[in-house]
Structure 1
Amino acid sequence: MTETSTVAPVVGDTAAGHDADIAAIERIIADTERAFNTNDAELLTAHFARNASVVNAAGMRTTGRDELLRVSREGLAGPLRDQYARYELLDVLFVRPDVALAHKGARAITADGEPLDVEHAMLALYVLVKERDRWWVVARQNTIVPG
């Protein structure tokens, strides 16, 4: 094994030169926040690819946009009905020009928008792919941050 094969490469790049892509990803995060806070399952799933895979904060995996819509409708009509959150895009790494990894932080808020958390209560990793000049979420993994 040569020395160059043991040195890990830097893969992808940060937001430099990706202003329009960052703005598009920020809109996806903003739509997700609005959908969660208004119990809008259709908007919540609008940016997901048909074959997307999601792991929620409880560790439940859902595959496929249709199934994700069904699960979202149930959650937003049930246990998530009276919960609210503020989302923040924390960083984006462009693995390739058409593949991005985005981290989102989430804080619980009241219905009036007052923060309930000082720090993020949840972090989410989004894997996005640019297809036909549009960004699509192909995977999301939610993780509860221990308080």
Structure 2
Amino acid sequence: MMTNDTLVVGDIPADIQAAVIRVVKDLQDAFNAHDGDALAAQFGVRASWTNAVGRRLDGREEIAEFSGPALKGFLGDVYARYDVVKLLAVADGVVGVNVHQTPTDSTGNPVEGPRGVTTYVIARQEDGWKIVVGQNSAVDAPPAA
């Protein structure tokens, strides 16, 4: 999932880097398991999430209500790898995260398909580190070299 090429901007202690990256890994695992509840659990109670088709979902409950059917329905055969490429210290207990999403098969091997770039704001909440704001954007695959 993650590479050693993650750019860290600002002072983010190693334990916080690990906690934030764990949120992204858990989100990836929930997506690939097609588990809407586990996916929504990575978001804060009052999170705001805009998905790859531009639909804004507000709050963990709304994210769960949308994600469960979507992951079992039109996303049921879709898998992805999430690579954290940048961590940005925003404020105490707040980290900006840039992620590249690569389509994979069910075993994690890259396949042709839509790619994504995602920006998350992950913050320390009462129930742990959670995504509080997110924007997912579909992008074209890079041209073949």
CA drift at 1:15? 5.4
Q: Secondary structure at the match of 2:9?
A: coil
1:77 lines up with 2:72 in the alignment: yes
Higher-Rg structure is: 1
Identity of aligned residues (%): 31
Superposition pairs of residues 61-140 of structure 1, within 5 angstroms: 61-117=56-112, 121-132=115-126, 134-140=128-134
Alignment check: 8 A CA contact 1:15 1:22 kept: no
Unaligned runs of 5+ in 1: 1-12
Give structure 1 regions of 4+ aligned residues with deviation exceeding 4 angstroms.
none
Within the candidate set 49, 52, 60, 2:47 is matched to 52
- The count of aligned residue pairs is 134
TM-score (norm: length of structure 2): 0.85
Worse overlay, 21-30 or 133-142: 133-142
CA drift at 1:112? 2.2
TM-score (norm: length of structure 1): 0.84
Larger relative contact order (Cα-Cα within 8 Å, sequence gap ≥ 6): 2
CA drift at 1:131? 2.8
Residue-by-residue CA offset, 1:74-132 (whole Å, 9 max, x unaligned): 110110011000111111101112111101110000112211159x8101000111134
Which residue identity lines up with residue 67 of structure 1 in the other structure? E
1:39 lines up with 2:34 in the alignment: yes
CA drift at 1:134? 2.7
